[in-house]
Chains A and B, each alone.
Chain A
Amino acid sequence: SAVISQKPSRDICQRGTSLTIQCQVDSQVTMMFWYRQQPGQSLTLIATANQGSEATYESGFVIDKFPISRPNLTFSTLTVSNMSPEDSSIYLCSVEKGPTSYEQYFGPGTRLTVT
């Protein structure tokens, strides 16, 4: 199984600022996913990040608010821009188990609080 780490594990930020979350995988993967879990809610897919191409965003999420980088096959970043309290959530990255599997491995998450 893939081992995924995220940095930071948690942060408290002021509104109007931006935070970049890093996701590192211990093996090369084609697709990486970014999810958000708002308080008391389910996990919602923000975007899919493939190396060498622009991220694909889900309905309700835009690149200006959540820019994503995918510089290589083991690393990705998600930036939460111009934050408001509504952005307070757990942000998780995940990777597919394999090219023929729908299972995903998840990182431990980044707990973001915006004041």
Chain B
Amino acid sequence: DQQVKQNSPSLSVQEGRISILNCDYTNSMFDYFLWYKKYPAEGPTFLISISSIKDKNEDGRFTVFLNKSAKHLSLHIVPSQPGDSAVYFCAFTGGTSYGKLTFGQGTILTVHP
């Protein structure tokens, strides 16, 4: 029972362009949504989050969008930089699972100079 799906295992983008990473979920009890970035041999690093009462949250080059009716979460990175190349995971919590994160499968982002 996959509650979270990141359907694109990889994404390749030119430096300076926009990167869009997507995540779909099925559990309607989720109401807090996060994005993490992971470099090889390191633990995941928190990027940005959004609660269910919002549909958009910005932090510098990173913007997270939430479409609750479609159960869809996306992360926009603009402009993309080579240092953004990493694995990106969406993560969710809520309902009876507060405090416990459910992660997507991850998307490998490669930003080419």
Contacts and interface: CB of A to CB of B under 8 A. Distances in A.
A58 B102 CA distance: 11
Interface in B85-113: 89, 93, 98-106
Contacts of B44: 43, 92, 106
Nearest to B105: A42
A103 B103 contact: no
Interface residues of A, number: 23
Nearest to B104: A42
A96 B34 CA distance: 13
Given A42-B105, A103-B49, A109 B42 contact: yes
Nearest to A44: B103
A108 interface: yes
B105 A41 contact: yes
A48 interface: yes
A57 to B, nearest CB: 12
B105 A108 contact: no
Given A92-B43, A108-B42, A48 B99 contact: yes
A55 interface: no
B100 A45 contact: yes
A104 interface: yes
Given A33-B100, A43-B103, A102 B43 contact: no
A22 to B, nearest CB: 15
A31 interface: yes
Interface string B23-41: 0000000001010100001
Given A48-B100, A102-B98, 13 more contacts: A33-B100, A42-B4, A42-B89, A42-B105, A42-B106, A58-B100, A94-B43, A96-B99, A102-B49, A102-B99, A106-B44, A107-B43, A108-B42
Interface of A: 4, 31, 33, 41-45, 48, 58, 92, 94, 96-97, 102-109, 111
